[in-house]
Amino acid sequence: MPAVQRRQFLGAFGGLVGAAVLSGALPRPGLAAGGALRIGLKSLPAALNPLTVSDLVARQILGSMYESLTSVDTRGRILPGLATAWEASEDARRWRLTIRDGVTFHTGRPLTATAVKRSFEAALAGDGANFAVLALSKVRGFRELRARATAELSGVTAIDDRTLEVVCDEPNAVFPFARIHIVDVDAAERAGSDWFRTMSAGTGPYRLTRSTDGIRIDVEANTGWRGGAVPFERVSFLATGIGNDGITLFNDSQVDFTFVDTDALRGVMDDPGFKRSLTNVQRMQMRVVALDQRRVKAFADLRVRRAMSLLIDRDAMAERFFRGVAAVHNGVVPPALLSNERLEPLAYDPALAARLLEEAGYPGGRGIDPFTVAVIPEYRREFVYYVSQWNNAGIPAKLAIAPRQEFIARSRRRDYDSFLFGWTATYPDPMNFLDELFSSRSRFNPVGWSNAEFDGLVERAMAIADPDLRAEVYKDAESLVMTEMPVIPLVVPDYVALRGNVLSENFITPFGGLNFG
């Protein structure tokens, strides 16, 4: 890739984004017709099984139909959900939860503690990793159930219809906060293995009416929802495609809401016609470049990893590329979840980067094996900058664009030299990033990083019920990750969307969810 100077590159972005669609466009905010809301998403999941969900888009849709033990408000506070109270033992190995009374599944059956236990067991019965597997991995009986030696989770007991006891093999201070969809498993099993394509079996504000794989999903109001009346009679999720397609549909009043892709962000932010329709919220997310040390020898040298980080001007990216709707994170936990004063700012210093490369035995990048940096199409322009910066320093990086589903499958297998890795919090606690992404035994560890001291800190934090005391241990753990820098943190853009006037400002949550209630 030809070298591009940083200032010249960032200054040239203004005219690149969707000129034919965006220039001079005067959006007509969509109105929900007859109590209907139309949500445009760039792609819809091939399947929407609430028990095995493992991606953000599926979670956004399923949030209209399914609930968890706890919920999170727009400011990140934990609130009661299907559990109204929870109490931990002193060592955080045993939890007792009070299950909400008077809740009915879409199937007409009542919510009970036994139904919650059955949901846990059904979520672990399948193959592969999902959000529930992470949340339940410390519960007694997890390994036996995953190995199919038993069908029951021995550490979970329904004391009565309203009381659930959970025993863990090790401390688990954040257990109730994880997002585990509670499902009427008995009704789902009777409907067959593809039950989720034709029905919903949750307790949420909407119920499924129609699903066309990859194209459209329709839900209708659940008149028996515990939260009372919902603002729309019907909600439709429509696949819009990436880039400017969703913006075009919004302009044509075909959708009432659509997220703005990263590559289209500048064009939308610079167009005054979109001003009244724009909404944004800071993401509870980590975005990094994952570097596989097994595939590229130079990545095993900390000096090379630091040099690559020093070649990124994060402040310039946040202000110029992302037009100020982005945050610079100096670590791997969003600052809104953990304000870690022990971290050094991630500086932009090409001169120091050059010295580090020379010290590592790669002067001017010479000797580093050529490698690819894989991303999906919507992040192409952002990554052109990063790759150009590395090329300018002699680092032989090449950008590789992969279709979304192929990218997800290959990155989970660590089948790329390096790749964009993003993780959005499913609950508002730093453990959601530290344990689930950097613990040596985590299935979601993006680069296979392993550090015994770090694992010890995470185990210690898990046993501390007090969140303020736990935060001090989190800071040590995050500092250790940043000292070794197995991944390179990037700027985190806000969630930016176009919304019609039928929607409130807080429709998007910092966790990527949508406020359907």
Query: How many angstroms separate the CA atoms of 407 and 374, rounded?
Result: 8
Give the mean pLDDT of 244-267: 90
| pLDDT higher than threshold 50 for residue 394 | yes
Provide the pLDDT for residue 6. 32
In this structure, whether the domain defined by 66-187 belongs to CATH 2.60.40.10 is answered with no
How does pLDDT run across 406-464, given as a tens digit for each residue? 998 899 899 999 999 999 988 889 999 999 899 998 888 999 999 999 999 999 999 99
As a whole number of Å, the CA-based R_g of the chain is 23
pLDDT exceeds 90 at position 244: no
- What architecture is domain 26-48+194-281+495-507? 3-Layer(aba) Sandwich (3.40)
d(CA 228, CA 222): 9
Which run of H or of E encompasses 461?
helix 452-462
> pLDDT at residue 22 above 50?
no
Do 139 and 166 touch, CB atoms closer than 8 A? yes
pLDDT value at 216 more than 60: yes
Question: What is the DSSP code string of 400-415?
Answer: EE--HHHHHHHHHTT-
More confident residue, 161 or 514: 161
Neighbouring CB atoms inside 10 A of 238's CB total: 18
* Three-state SS at 473: helix
Q: What is the pLDDT of residue 373?
A: 98
- Among 32-46, 329-343, 398-412, the range scoring the smallest mean pLDDT is 32-46
Domain ranges in the chain are 26-48+194-281+495-507, 66-187, 283-493
Enclosing H/E stretch for 62: helix 56-62
Task: Tell me the pLDDT tens digit for each residue of 38-51.
Answer: 999 988 887 789 99
Does the pLDDT of residue 351 top 50, yes or no?
Answer: yes
pLDDT band, residue 388 (cuts 50/70/90) = very high
CB 18 within 8 A of CB 218: no
Instruction: Name the fold adopted by 283-493.
Output: Dipeptide-binding Protein; domain 3 (3.10.105)
Confidence of residue 243 (pLDDT cuts 50, 70, 90): low
Helix (H, G, I), strand (E, B) or coil at 419: strand
Mean pLDDT throughout 230-255? 89
Q: In this model, does residue 267 exceed pLDDT 80? A: yes
Highest mean pLDDT among 45-49, 133-137, 351-355: 351-355
Q: Is the pLDDT of residue 297 over 70?
A: yes
pLDDT in tens, 99-122: 999 999 999 999 999 999 999 999
Partnered with residue 278 across adjacent β-strands are 498
Q: How confident is the model at residue 83 (pLDDT cuts 50, 70, 90)?
A: very high
Res 308 pLDDT > 80: yes
> CB 410: neighbour CB atoms within 10 A?
14
Q: Which residues contact 361 (CB under 8 A, 6 or more apart)?
A: 367
Cβ pair 328, 474 in contact under 8 A = no
Torsion of CA 502, 505, 511, 513, to 10 degrees: -10
DSSP for residue 261: P
User: What is the rounded distance in angstroms from the CA atom of residue 25 to the CA atom of residue 251?
Assistant: 8
pLDDT score for 56 = 80
Structure tokens at 14: 């203004």
Residues 6+ apart with CB under 8 A from 131: 53, 54, 59, 178, 179, 180, 426
| Residue 360 clears pLDDT 60, i.e. is over it | yes
Average pLDDT, the chain: 89
Q: What is the pLDDT of residues 486-497, one digit of tens each?
A: 999 999 999 999
**What is the average per-residue pLDDT within 478-484?**
98
How big is the chain, counted in residues? 517
